[in-house]
């Protein structure tokens, strides 16, 4: 089993093989502010800078510019690696579509065929090994109903596993410390499930692994912090 390092200090040790099994598509669930986007970008950024694994970050909610700015606060220079064609930050809503197109998109719904074709091109263009989609919750807003939403997710995850990239698919729980009832039905479509929690009383952050095909993993939840270098599990 090939291993993909998570880039999150302390996280690899929770998996018997020392990281994510290569090729897995992993759902990351957490409430607002739980650290999902930072987690996703850290996975992509360290992949590029430390493991020479090109990566693609697809954003549905924040603009690429805002993400570049936010990540600079951790000292991560996204643009440098975009220029070197090792990292692609893709705006899922406007990608390869003209600027004043918002109204058009809202009327017709986001074209997932288009997104899948663009993602496939991007994977080939930089020989990507890692992909992050942020987030499914927002992507779902562009679907007409639950059935269409699930069909879209299935097709996206098919492409990801076909290309043998190791991906994180982010989705949002309703509250910061999400409960079991909030688990989206889509979990069965994924090889792994990670949960990020922010305790509303103590303001402490925790991560747990709910499922990971291809490796044994530690059960339980682990404290983590978001500091000047990004996310780090507490010793």
Ligand X SMILES: Nc1ncnc2c1ncn2[C@@H]1O[C@H](COP(=O)(O)OP(=O)(O)O)[C@@H](O)[C@H]1O
Binding site for ligand X (CB under 6 A): 30, 32-38, 73-74, 226
Query: How many CB atoms sit inside 10 A of residue 131's CB?
Result: 27
- Return the bridge partners of 131, or none: 56, 167
Rounded to a whole number of angstroms, the minimum distance from the CB of residue 121 to ligand X is: 26
Nearer to Mg ion, 93 or 126 (CB): 93
Rounded to a whole number of angstroms, the minimum distance from the CB of residue 59 to ligand X is: 10
**Judging by DSSP bridges, how do beta strands 230-233 and 221-227 pair with one another?**
antiparallel
Alpha carbons 37 and 136: distance in angstroms, whole number = 12
Rounded to a whole number of angstroms, the minimum distance from the CB of residue 36 to ligand X is: 3
Nearer to ligand X, 126 or 132 (CB): 132
35 makes contact, choosing from ligand X, Mg ion, none, with CB < 5 to 8 Å by partner type, with ligand X
- DSSP E strands in the chain: the ranges are 3-4, 20-21, 25-30, 55-59, 87-91, 130-134, 166-172, 192-198, 205-212, 221-227, 230-233
Q: What tokens does 232 get? A: 């780090």
Nearer to ligand X, 63 or 85 (CB): 63
Strand, helix or coil for residue 226: strand
Q: 């992993």: which residue's tokens? A: 26
Residue 150: is it exposed, middle or buried by C-beta count within 10 angstroms (0-12/13-18/19+)?
middle
109 makes contact, choosing from Mg ion, ligand X, none, with CB < 5 to 8 Å by partner type, with none
6 makes contact, choosing from ligand X, Mg ion, none, with CB < 5 to 8 Å by partner type, with none
Span from 12-20, 34-42, 66-74, 119-127 in contact with Mg ion (CB under 5 A): 34-42
Rounded to a whole number of angstroms, the minimum distance from the CB of residue 36 to Mg ion is: 5
- Of 199, 212, 207, the residue nearest 232 (C-alpha): 207
Nearer to ligand X, 73 or 151 (CB): 73
3 makes contact, choosing from ligand X, Mg ion, none, with CB < 5 to 8 Å by partner type, with none
Residue 29: is it exposed, middle or buried by C-beta count within 10 angstroms (0-12/13-18/19+)?
buried
**Judging by DSSP bridges, how do beta strands 55-59 and 130-134 pair with one another?**
parallel
Nearer to ligand X, 30 or 192 (CB): 30
122 makes contact, choosing from ligand X, Mg ion, none, with CB < 5 to 8 Å by partner type, with none
32 makes contact, choosing from ligand X, Mg ion, none, with CB < 5 to 8 Å by partner type, with ligand X
Rounded to a whole number of angstroms, the minimum distance from the CB of residue 56 to ligand X is: 17
Rounded to a whole number of angstroms, the minimum distance from the CB of residue 39 to ligand X is: 6
Q: Out of 24, 25, 34, 37, which residue is the one contacting Mg ion (CB under 5 A)?
A: 37
Q: What residue ranges bind Mg ion (CB under 5 A)?
A: 37
């Amino acid at each position: 089993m090939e291993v993909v390092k998570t880039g999150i200090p302390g996280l690899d040790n929770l998996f018997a093989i020392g990281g994510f099994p290569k090729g897995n598509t992993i759902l990351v669930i957490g409430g607002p502010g739980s650290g999902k986007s930072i987690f996703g970008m850290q996975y992509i950024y360290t992949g590029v800078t430390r493991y020479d694994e090109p990566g693609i970050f697809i954003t549905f909610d924040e603009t690429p510019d805002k993400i570049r700015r936010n990540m600079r606060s951790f000292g991560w220079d996204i643009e440098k690696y975009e220029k070197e064609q090792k990292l692609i930050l893709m705006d899922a809503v406007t990608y390869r579509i003209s600027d004043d197109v918002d109204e058009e998109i809202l009327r017709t719904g986001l074209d997932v065929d288009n997104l899948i074709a663009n993602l496939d091109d991007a994977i080939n263009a930089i020989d990507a090994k890692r992909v992050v989609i942020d987030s499914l919750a927002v992507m779902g807003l562009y679907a007409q109903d639950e059935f269409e939403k699930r069909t879209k997710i299935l097709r996206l995850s098919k492409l990801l596993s076909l290309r043998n990239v190791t991906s994180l698919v982010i989705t949002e729980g309703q509250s910061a410390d999400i409960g079991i009832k909030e688990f989206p039905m889509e979990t069965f479509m994924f090889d792994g499930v990670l949960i990020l929690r922010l305790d509303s009383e103590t303001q402490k952050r925790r991560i747990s692994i709910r499922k990971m095909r291809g490796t044994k993993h530690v059960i339980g939840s682990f404290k983590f912090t978001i500091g000047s270098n990004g996310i780090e599990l507490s010793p």
